[in-house]
Chain A
Amino acid sequence: MKKTFAIGIGGAAGQGVATPGDIFAKIFSRRGLHLNAYNAYQSIIRGGHTFLTIRTGPEKVTNMGDRVDLLIPLNQDAMDRHLKLLTDGAACVYNSDTIKPGVGAKGVQPCALPVSKLADITRNKVAQNTLAVGAGLSMMGIGFQALEEVLTEQFRKKGEAVVAENIAIARAGYDYATANFKPFAWPLPMTGTRYAVLSGNTAMAMGGAAAGVKFYCAYPMSPSTGVLHWMAAHARKANIMVRQVEDEIGVVNMAIGAAHAGVRSMCATSGGGFALMTEGLGLSAMMETPVVVIDCQRAGPSTGVPTKTEQGDLWQMLGAAFGDYPRAIAAPLDIGDCFKIIPEVFNIADRFQCPGIVLCDLLLSEGRLSVDPKQLDFAPVIDRGELITSARSAPNGDGAYKRYKITESGISPRAVPGVPGHTHTAASDEHDEDGVLISDEFTNPTKRRAMMEKRMRKVAGIEAAVPPPVLWGPRDADVTLIGWGSTMGVIEEACEILTEQGILASQLQIRWLVPLHGNAILDILKGSRHTIIVENNYSGQFARYLRSETSFVPDGYIRKYDGEPFMPHHIVEAVKEQLSGKTKLSVPAHEILV
């Protein structure tokens, strides 16, 4: 088993849960420790209950894990919700002036901080947070210097006095813990590397910048807004035009306009906004103007649960826009992949002149992960396809240019406005090879069929350009878990736990949803002993899709639709229950009430 250590910080929104989280994350990543952070919160600015889990360790940490080693409740509510879930070896650091401890399990260390004795709480409203950070780091065996450095950075802008005050409070917590609390059995190690810590939204925005995006627009919608925030803050340095638009209908059409004029153009939204964009996706497909749309899934339907995760938009993506048209849909597997996938999807969209959809979710969009900075490659392969940007690059500037020329590949060279000798109309109505509408005056079945077949021939090209999925783990495993997108990390860990417990487990994780490579999937799964599809939705959307494309029916299903992500033990227990023949459908209960 990989060695990890998890901290849980809970409190009301506005109590400052994020800042201690950021401080821990900085300290861990600079010590060369990997980390994964997930914040469970609600759609509220002040109040409610927020619970941030930061899990760290020397090896890659792919999910929030099953246990909390250090609990920092910032109010009574957080104490009451989480203390009972702590197990042997864990500790709870709390403000004993305002919070009653409750009874923890055997082996759980209660660590009472007399906050008003250690700091002047009339001067510093968040003194309890800083004291707890100091105390926690002492118990983890991390020297005070690391904290001093981060606090200095954090408060530098507020002046020396504020820096000194915060360091003094942290020091008091640190020293009090050294004198009074038992350190954790496993002092956190240190490695020589340094990691970048980023959210999936930041990763997708940076991936867009790396892909050469020059136009980004959006309407704010959780959990996609982080992409807009990174883009807006970095627009001038990255030379990207960033616009906030009146609605998502405007967003997708503006993005298509910019793409049509020749730039790489991207937008992001969540399910509700995506619903408004779907007619625009059809426009992109019909005019053969590439655009990349990110959908960050949240729990639906309708306004749903804006701050909770789900994989419930798959069929919306599959059914987006009416009519048949070529497109690509890809689901990033983790936060690092959020970066990498954007240039890949752009290359497909540009080469095949069609829309590309990135199907992300709140878990990745708002979660945070440590990533080796070398993985953030700002010089990826860029393939803009058959694009005519000047008369010189034009194959025929003599007026014979046909924008929608019928070709074997279905791809027609695309001239952008401003190039002499290539004027044409790009039309959302069905059109002839030269862009003349065939829909109004004399609809022509022969021409219509030829244009449909031309566009749809691109589907084969897209399929050839995208690699088929591969099986991770042994072919003769006792159980093969099939997932898609963001569940990669948690399924991977569940497989490790199962294998350690004597149940040999393998994993098939799907990244490209369209094209699916159904035959390759069938080849992999026909050798499997027991197959279970794991997904974060009610109806088994991927299972239904796989069945519709391949007729494949798995042995069982594990589904979760309570708004929270899977934890490894949810999957492990469900697999055991299914292998013992108890059920074919497991819906694990989320024990943490957040």
Chain B
Amino acid sequence: MATALASANHVALADLKGKVDPDWCPGCGDFGVLAAVQKALVELQIPNYNVVTISGIGCSSNFPGFIGTYGMHTLHGRALAVATGVKLANHDLTVLVTGGDGDGFGIGGNHFVHSMRRNVDLLYIVMDNQIYGLTTGQTSPTSRVGMKTKSMPFGNIEAPANPISLALAAGATFVARGFSAEQKHLTELIKQGIQHKGFSFLDVFSPCVTYNHDNTYQWFRPRVKKLEDDAAYDPANWMAAMGKSLLWDEEIPIGKFFERTDVPTLHEAEPVLNAGPLAYADTQMPVEVTRAFVEELM
């Protein structure tokens, strides 16, 4: 048993093992993301019962079943809406949202934009493989122009979304990009994203080895450049972040694009939560309060 292996107060990797092993294709980028999240939670020593991992639907959205935290495997595209409800009902919980590019930028696009402007305090990890995998290989909102898939056999004619620019424009207070093959770097970004107070968006290149033969590990490796390697880069500078977000093809930045800490989170901004999480609140209202409610009607 996972709990038997761990000492009472120490969070060990074994605590974070799911009830079953991942059923992703061998070589899938999502393995690297799962490992990095588990490592980050151990390094931050957050007990598994205080974490809720929430996903939509898709290959990467099976993530909650593979990690030993509380989990919710919700509807396609709806993870952020569900997660907002969880966080507002109990803001003591650490909320992680996991999913893919179709789930988050396609069917869930509306919730993606609004969750960022609300600055809900959670970490949203998108395992971006630029393809629909679980439905066996169709064009996704991040597929490049010209990419041939089963749904666009003569090549994609629609421009891809730019998740980083979109997140910056929508008001995300932490915006980063990782690469699943860069484990140490990714783990560090996940730790920062969890610790950031507010909406943390982390787009992760997580190659699909079965259906995307364009954006492979080999394609990404020579292109990705860590923003952290550029000493002059200032992640507090939104304009600079926007500029970096537009780079593609020859040089693709990964790392922390942007962070600001001066915006209150949604739960901090709402005085109703000042007395603590609602999940622990008394359901019965004081008689003088309810009497006043009725008196208003008389």
Contacts and interface: CB of A to CB of B under 8 A. Distances in A.
Interface string A224-257: 0000000000111111111101110111011111
A418 B90 contact: yes
A214 B75 contact: no
Nearest to A425: B71
Contacts of B19: 425, 434-436
A435 B17 CA distance: 15
Contact of A236 (B82, B272, B281, B283): B272
Interface stretch (A101-109, A374-382, A513-521, A579-587): A374-382
A283 B90 contact: no
A212 to B, nearest CB: 3
Interface residues of A, number: 76
A99 to B, nearest CB: 34
Nearest to A235: B272
Contact of A257 (B73, B83, B294): B83
B256 interface: no
Given A265-B85, A417-B52, A249 B72 contact: no
B23 A237 contact: no
A253 B78 contact: yes
B64 A425 contact: yes
Contact of A263 (B65, B71, B72, B279): B279
A398 interface: yes
A373 B290 CA distance: 11
Contact of B298 (A194, A239, A246): A194
Contacts of A194: 298
Contacts of A198: 297
Interface in B282-296: 283-285, 287, 289-290, 292-294
A215 interface: yes
A376 B294 CA distance: 8
B15 to A, nearest CB: 9
A570 interface: no
A524 interface: no
Nearest to B19: A436
B231 interface: no
Interface stretch (A202-210, A297-305, A483-491): A202-210
Contacts, number: 216
Q: How large is the interface on B (under 10, 10 to 19, 20 to 34, 35 or more residues)?
A: 35 or more
Nearest to A215: B89
B278 interface: yes
Contacts of A264: 283
Nearest to B85: A257
A197 B4 CA distance: 60
B222 interface: no
Nearest to A257: B85
Contacts of B57: 428-429
Given A246-B110, A254-B81, 10 more contacts: A212-B284, A239-B275, A253-B81, A261-B279, A263-B89, A265-B89, A398-B3, A425-B71, A428-B73, A436-B19
22 contacts: A209-B285, A212-B284, A214-B283, A237-B292, A242-B272, A249-B110, A249-B111, A253-B82, A253-B85, A254-B84, A256-B74, A260-B85, A260-B89, A398-B3, A399-B2, A416-B90, A417-B52, A418-B50, A418-B92, A424-B71, A426-B72, A440-B23
Interface of B: 1-4, 19-20, 23, 47-50, 52, 54, 57, 62, 64-65, 68-75, 78, 81-90, 92-93, 110-111, 113-114, 270-273, 275, 278-279, 281, 283-285, 287, 289-290, 292-294, 297-298
Interface of A: 29-30, 194-198, 202, 206, 209-210, 212, 214-215, 217, 234-243, 245-247, 249-251, 253-265, 279-280, 283, 287, 373, 376, 378-379, 382, 389, 398-399, 416-429, 434-437, 440-441
